[in-house]
């Protein structure tokens, strides 16, 4: 989508109602695809969503010689790493800035080829997003890293060796870096202060199916005993709890009722507790979760984002839109990313009352306190929202703008909607199913 195709007209004021389905998690599927590089046999990944981040990784894997083809059932990919050694990666620069995933190719490529080139990373602009932990970890395994103008060049002069690592912060990507590197390293790796998000557990399941030996303690310690060889896997990706929560927030903000087929209670418990505190209703069954606004007033809350099992930061932005409709003052303390509240200025233009603060408001003191980052918000509600011209800043911020536009009176022009395809499969079709009044300028009402 480019030019005017990248603008969506949203006519607000209609509750979203109906059923949609979420498939495999954006934050697991690309990593499980990278894991296939470690195997000596083909792998089968099921429940793969058609989103941009998956397409990017598919392209990167193919560039590295992995054959990727559809499997027998819809949403199944077969990844065959047999010809990785003979791949020609001359075009890798074309993938610069495409997603966060290229950094996770380091371990698998170092094991297979002894070297790796990692182009500049993409991903959402919600903070500095340094990758220092990743490189510190890789050096500890025995890799050398050279910064070049167009990316990073890594070498493993000899087989990587298991090591003891303590992460300064339970970073998701760095934990995955350790897992994907340690499984084929010589000896044992002990990782403390690891991230334990459900997507990480699912990646561990994938690796165990391939032959890895990994144990996880309750105190954020993960131990990996390196093996000499891994096979392939057959795995159904866990559903996307982040997309599910986005639709749940949309139901609340538009006073709607959405059944999210595929949503799972286990990975969403913290979100569900918060949803209930705000006054949202939900009902869980074996196939999914129904989310709805039960009528009456929504309640204001104090909310702090955190690493799992805390309130996931990617849930924050869509829920903030619903909080603009809650009575009283809500406090939101974003402790994972330093700049994830900038999207609220557009909500204020629509009529919301959201004030940002540099202080750590709410429960704890985080890494960003006293450091000049506007990372706490006070949302005063309820406020009527009016349609506006909106420019999508990042993935979840973008979905939040869609929700706000759908909840608002009047018409909004939402620019940059293509970004939403990074993590929300067929979102236009889903909006249509839910009765949203949206149209591409010059095109039919969807």
Ligand X SMILES: C=C(OP(=O)(O)O)C(=O)O
Ligand Y SMILES: CC(=O)N[C@H]1[C@@H](OP(=O)(O)OP(=O)(O)OC[C@H]2O[C@@H](n3ccc(=O)[nH]c3=O)[C@H](O)[C@@H]2O)O[C@H](CO)[C@@H](O)[C@@H]1O
Which chain residues interact with ligand Y by CB under 6 A?
Answer: 27, 100, 127-134, 169, 171-174, 195, 312-314, 336-337
User: Which CB sits closer to ligand X, 99 or 163?
Assistant: 99
The mark string for 22-41 relative to ligand X (x by CB under 6 A, - otherwise) is ----x---------------
**Span of 9-17, 78-86, 119-127, 363-371 interacting with ligand X by CB under 6 A:** 119-127
Give the one entry of ligand X, ligand Y, none that residue 127 binds, where binding means its C-beta sits below a cut-off of 5 to 8 angstroms depending on kind: ligand Y
Residue 52 is a binding residue for ligand X (CB under 6 A): no
Count of chain residues binding ligand X (CB under 6 A): 10
Active-site positions?
Answer: 124
Give the one entry of ligand X, ligand Y, none that residue 133 binds, where binding means its C-beta sits below a cut-off of 5 to 8 angstroms depending on kind: ligand Y
Torsion of CA 186, 188, 194, 195, to 10 degrees: 60
Phi first, then psi: what are they for 270, rounded to 5°?
A: -65, -40
The answer to whether the annotation marks 34 as part of a ligand binding site is no
User: Which CB sits closer to ligand Y, 205 or 329?
Assistant: 205
Restricting to residues 84-113, name those near ligand X by CB under 6 A: 99-100
The mark string for 420-439 relative to ligand X (x by CB under 6 A, - otherwise) is ---x----------------
The answer to whether the annotation marks 421 as part of a ligand binding site is no
The answer to whether the annotation marks 100 as part of a ligand binding site is yes
Binds ligand X (CB under 6 A): choice among 395, 403, 406, 408: 395
User: How far apart are CB 174 and ligand Y at their closest, in Å?
Assistant: 5
Residues 391-425 as b/e (b if ≥16 CB within 10 A, e otherwise) read ebbbbbbbbbbbbbbbbbeebbebbbbbbbbbbbb
User: Which CB sits closer to ligand Y, 152 or 174?
Assistant: 174
The length of the chain, given as a count of residues = 446
Restricting to residues 308-337, name those near ligand X by CB under 6 A: 314
Residue 124 is a binding residue for ligand X (CB under 6 A): yes
The answer to whether the annotation marks 27 as part of a ligand binding site is yes
Give the one entry of ligand X, ligand Y, none that residue 171 binds, where binding means its C-beta sits below a cut-off of 5 to 8 angstroms depending on kind: ligand Y
User: How far apart are CB 332 and ligand Y at their closest, in Å?
Assistant: 15
Q: What distance in Å separates the CA atoms of residue 263 and residue 238, rounded to the nearest whole number?
A: 9
Binds ligand X (CB under 6 A): choice among 396, 403, 414, 421: 396
User: Which CB sits closer to ligand X, 131 or 160?
Assistant: 131
Selection from 337, 202, 194 nearest residue 264 by Cα: 202
User: How far apart are CB 197 and ligand X at their closest, in Å?
Assistant: 12
Give the one entry of ligand X, ligand Y, none that residue 423 binds, where binding means its C-beta sits below a cut-off of 5 to 8 angstroms depending on kind: ligand X
Phi first, then psi: what are they for 219, rounded to 5°?
A: -105, 35
Answer yes or no: are the C-beta atoms of 283 and 289 closer than 8 Å.
yes
Residue 114 is a binding residue for ligand X (CB under 6 A): no
Q: What distance in Å separates the CA atoms of residue 415 and residue 411, rounded to the nearest whole number?
A: 13
- Residue positions forming the annotated binding site: 26-27, 100, 314, 336
Residue ranges of the annotated binding site for UDP-N-acetyl-alpha-D-glucosamine are 100, 314, 336
Footprint of ligand X (CB under 6 A): 26, 99-100, 123-124, 126, 314, 395-396, 423
């Amino acid at each position: 989508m480019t030019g005017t195709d990248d603008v969506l007209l949203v006519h607000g004021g209609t509750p979203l109602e109906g059923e949609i389905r979420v498939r495999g998690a954006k934050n697991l599927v690309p990593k499980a695809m990278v894991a296939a590089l470690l195997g000596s046999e083909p792998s089968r990944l099921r429940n793969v969503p058609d989103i941009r981040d998956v397409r990017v990784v598919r392209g990167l894997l193919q560039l590295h010689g992995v054959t990727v083809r559809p499997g027998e059932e819809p949403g199944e990919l077969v990844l065959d790493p047999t010809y990785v050694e003979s791949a020609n990666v001359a075009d890798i620069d074309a993938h610069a800035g495409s997603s966060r995933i290229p950094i996770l190719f380091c371990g698998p490529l170092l094991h297979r080829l002894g070297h790796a080139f990692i182009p500049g990373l993409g991903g959402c602009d919600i903070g500095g997003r340094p990758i220092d932990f990743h490189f510190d970890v890789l050096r500890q395994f025995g890799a050398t890293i050279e910064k070049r103008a167009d990316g990073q060049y890594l070498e493993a002069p000899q087989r990587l060796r298991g090591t003891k690592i303590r992460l300064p912060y339970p970073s998701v990507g760095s934990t995955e870096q350790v897992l994907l590197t340690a499984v084929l390293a010589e000896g044992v790796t002990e990782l403390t202060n690891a991230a334990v998000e459900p997507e990480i557990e699912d990646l561990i399941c994938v690796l165990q199916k391939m032959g890895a030996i990994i144990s996880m303690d309750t105190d954020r310690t993960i131990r990996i005993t390196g093996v000499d060889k891994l096979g392939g896997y057959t795995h159904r990706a866990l559903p996307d709890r982040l997309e599910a929560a986005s639709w749940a927030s949309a139901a609340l903000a538009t006073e709607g009722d959405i059944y999210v087929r595929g949503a799972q209670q286990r990975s969403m418990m913290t979100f569900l507790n918060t949803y209930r505190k705000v006054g949202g209703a939900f009902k869980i069954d074996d196939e999914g979760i129904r989310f709805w606004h039960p009528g009456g007033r929504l309640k204001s809350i104090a909310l702090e984002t955190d690493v799992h099992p805390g309130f996931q930061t990617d849930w924050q932005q869509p829920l903030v839109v619903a909080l603009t409709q809650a009575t009283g003052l809500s406090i939101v303390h974003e402790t994972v990313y330093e700049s994830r509240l900038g999207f609220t200025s557009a909500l204020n233009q629509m009529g919301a009352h959201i004030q940002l603060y540099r202080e750590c408001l709410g429960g704890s003191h985080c890494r960003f306190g006293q450091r000049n980052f506007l990372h706490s918000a006070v949302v005063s509600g309820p406020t009527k929202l009016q349609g506006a011209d909106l420019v999508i800043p990042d993935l979840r911020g973008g979905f939040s703008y869609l929700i706000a536009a759908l909840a608002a009176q009047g018409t909004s022009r939402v620019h940059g909607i293509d970004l939403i395809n990074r993590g929300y499969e067929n979102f236009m079709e889903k909006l249509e199913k839910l009765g949203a009044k949206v149209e591409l300028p010059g095109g039919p009402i969807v």
